[in-house]
């Protein structure tokens, strides 16, 4: 008895194509996600820009680090010098002030006029054993009740270690006064204990300690507590300087090495 002939199954693949009951199977479509980012290869320009940016950030970091290290080193050196040498600011005092002229003329036809002449003796002291001061010329201004009454100057000089220097200067003035200045000055001249005199001196100073040298810095010396009297006749009057006191405003910058 012969075997039945095999018939092709309807689900079999015909010519490599899957079929169902003689019909080809549907091909699955590839899913597409619209939110998916499309890969774009980075260009050489973008990579170079990022590399330059990283290099710039690195340079800025090392620059800031170097500046901070230098500032820290300067602070350590300054602290060490202060502990070792304990530097002091310079000291000033007025030992004598002679008033040769203090004439105030008033008139109804012309402005009030003030003429003054002072002879000033000043002591500059350096209390340091390891520090030298180099002063530039001084500009001197005299005031009485905030009214400027004279100007003068001092030559440049050096103040050595633990030393004091005696200086002399002439302060004079000739000027017209406005109503406010005249009223203020007249009030001071009527005081029984004498009219107040303030001496203000401005200059620049450079300091040197061993191999260290500073830059030039501004310095202002203000001397108060002086009482003057108007001279009688041609003889000068001597102002009272017993209660006088000079204050020094000194701003020191960072030290630097000098070879």
| 139, pLDDT greater than 60 | yes
**What is the C-alpha to C-alpha distance for residues 227 and 244, in angstroms, rounded to an integer?**
9
142: nearest Cα among 111, 100, 107? 100
| 83, pLDDT greater than 90 | no
Give the mean pLDDT of 126-147.
94
Give the mean pLDDT of 102-125.
91
Q: What is the pTM of this model?
A: 0.66
Q: How many residues does the chain have?
A: 259
| 42, pLDDT greater than 60 | no
| 15, pLDDT greater than 90 | no
**What is the C-alpha to C-alpha distance for residues 160 and 124, in angstroms, rounded to an integer?**
10
| 4, pLDDT greater than 90 | no
94: nearest Cα among 212, 238, 250, 215? 238
């Amino acid at each position: 008895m012969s075997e039945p002939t095999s018939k092709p199954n309807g689900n079999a693949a015909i010519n490599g194509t899957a079929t169902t009951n003689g019909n080809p199977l549907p091909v699955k479509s590839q899913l597409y996600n619209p939110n998916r980012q499309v890969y774009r290869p980075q260009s050489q320009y973008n990579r170079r820009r990022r590399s330059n940016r990283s290099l710039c950030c690195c340079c800025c970091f090392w620059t800031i680090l170097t500046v901070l290290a230098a500032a820290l080193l300067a602070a350590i050196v300054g602290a060490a010098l202060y502990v070792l040498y304990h530097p002091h600011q310079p000291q000033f005092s007025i030992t004598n002030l002679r008033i040769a002229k203090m004439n105030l003329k008033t008139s109804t036809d012309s402005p009030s006029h003030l003429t003054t002449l002072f002879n000033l003796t000043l002591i500059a002291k350096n209390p340091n054993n390891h520090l030298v001061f180099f002063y530039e010329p001084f500009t001197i201004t005299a005031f009485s009740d905030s009214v400027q009454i004279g100007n003068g100057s001092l030559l440049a000089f050096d103040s050595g270690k633990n030393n004091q220097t005696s200086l002399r200067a002439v302060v004079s003035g000739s000027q017209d006064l406005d109503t406010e200045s005249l009223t203020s000055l007249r009030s001071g001249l009527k005081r029984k204990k004498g009219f107040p005199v303030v001496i203000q001196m401005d200059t620049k100073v450079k300091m040197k300690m061993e191999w260290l040298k500073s830059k030039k810095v501004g310095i202002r010396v203000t001397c108060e507590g002086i009482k003057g009297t108007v001279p009688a006749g041609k003889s000068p009057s001597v102002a009272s300087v017993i209660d006088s006191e000079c204050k020094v405003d000194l701003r020191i910058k960072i030290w630097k090495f000098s070879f």
